[in-house]
Amino acid sequence: MKEILKKIYDAVCKVEMVIAVFFLSTSVSVIFIAAVFRTMGSPIRWGFDIALLLFTWSTFLGADIAFRRKGLVSVDMFVNKLPQRVQWLIGIFVYICLFSSMAFMVYVGTRLTIFTRPRVFNAIPQVSHAWATASVPVSMFLMLISCIIQIYEKYFQRFFRKDQAEVNN
């Protein structure tokens, strides 16, 4: 069961990376094309709105990718000088704060997405702002999963391995 979940999670991570890169590339391309057309005297009205929508998604998905790869900035110079037990407790506290913040953002982001559903982009009245706002709860949910995996790997994996070894013997 664990292997199946890992394969599913890995597939989701790959899809997330492809989507984030595609959206960022497309956002930059749309802005460039809109600038060229504006210079030629034929501005593309919807260019900024599409670029904003795609950039929002690429930013928040990219945040999960960076979090999962432990690529976010951390200042641990002071913490590293403390005893191991204190470092462990501070780490648990930080993960509790992160988990709580992400869960809160999923809740608030979902409510905000529902609330912004009637609002539309100026140049694209067929597209609701909820599509951009939904990037927050979706990416925060993915970050919650990454956070749970990191907590498990850092603090609990060794206990489960020990229990598994005893069961197998």
SS (H, E, C) 77-141: CCHHHCCHHHHHHHHHHHHHHHHHHHHHHHHHHHHHHHHCCCCECCCCCCCECHHHHCHHHHHHH
In a domain, 168, yes or no: no
164 inside domain: no
Residue 169 falls inside a structural domain: no
Number of domains in the chain: 1
Residue 108 lies in a domain: yes
Range of the domain at 136: 2-158
Q: Distance from CA of residue 123 to its chain's centroid?
A: 27
Instruction: Give residue 42's region: left, alpha or beta (phi > 0; psi -120 to 50).
Output: beta
Q: Is 37 inside any structural domain? A: yes
pLDDT at 26: 96
pLDDT tens-digit map of 94-144: 999 999 999 999 999 999 999 999 888 888 888 898 999 999 999 999 999
Q: Is the pLDDT of residue 84 over 70?
A: yes
Output the pTM of the full model. Answer: 0.82
